[in-house]
Amino acid sequence: MDKRLVKIGEAARLLGTSVVNMRRWEASGELLPARKTKGGTRYYDVAELLNQKNGDTPTVCYARVSSHDQKADLERQQIMLESYCAAKGWRSTCIKDLGSGINDKKKGLQQLLEIILQKQTKRLVLTHKDRLLRFGSELVFAMCALQGIEIVIIHQGDQPLFEEELTKDVLEIITVFSARLYGSRSHENKKLMEKLAEAATSC
């Protein structure tokens, strides 16, 4: 019986990963295409991909920072996560997010939750616990436990600049409540919110 072969895009979809990761695994020798044309088109054996998915599924790493001026830290997180997994001999893929720790609508977080719900990984690795969510990470960990997904947190303590990021999150909460309250007693509420924001930034 002939093998059923698919191109790299479909192969990535079957594994729940990206084309970039597929090429990275090829370069490292972890997952090679069944055939590669002279033009560079890669074809993967579907049966082999399904064995990969059901067996040695990739470890998922998640990195996040709160603002654009922390992009360098986001790259450092990714390097740390991938290096840690490589040292453990784990095939890994990294999801990155840029946004507040209290925002549960981030694109990367939604992708991670889908992977957990579909049990497309057996391990989640974080640099710090609060990289996932400032509030609500325990719920995500409970979902992982129900799916038999291992949680690995490289650093158990608070990370540097914890207070600074927490202040940004508090200010975001104040902004949201401020917008909701301005409609009725605008003058009084505006004064209250300004005092709260001032107190948060002075901590």
Positions marked catalytic = 66
| Pairing mode, strands 42-45 and 92-98 | unpaired
Phi-psi region of 47 (alpha: psi -120 to 50; beta: other; left: phi over 0): alpha
Q: Which residues pair with 95 in a beta bridge?
A: 62
DSSP for 107-174, written as a single string: HHHHHHHHHHHTT--SEEEESSGGGT-SS-HHHHHHHHHHTT-EEEES--SPPTTHHHHHHHHHHHHH
> What is the per-residue DSSP string for 17-48?
S-HHHHHHHHHHTSS--SEE-TT--EEEEHHH
The crossing angle, in degrees rounded to 10, of helices 19-28 and 8-15 is 100
